[in-house]
Amino acid sequence: MTNPLIGMPQGLEWLVILAIVVLVFGAAKLPDLARSSGQALRIFKTETKGLRDEDDGTKTPEQREIEARNDAAQDVSRDPSGEVLRQRRDDTTA
């Protein structure tokens, strides 16, 4: 069986870890370290939310242009009654 005491640090261990961090980074650098970590997490959250949201704001201008062309082509090929009109093709070359 595994020993349950070999898990998360308890109260005294956290104090030792904190003391080591203060010695390594210095007390003056800790606020800057915390601030930069917070900014990095905020940027990460923003980017992951942007990847999940698939709205028109994330589409490139080329994608919007292609969608507009497709919508216009569908509008032209239908008459007001909803029936699809046949287009006449001219296969002659000039």
Domain locations along the chain: 10-53, 56-87
Residue 4 pLDDT exceeds 70: no
Instruction: Return phi, psi of residue 32, to 5°.
Output: -65, -40
pTM of the model: 0.38
pLDDT per residue as tens digits for the range 11-62: 899 899 989 988 988 888 888 888 999 999 999 998 888 777 655 466 777 7
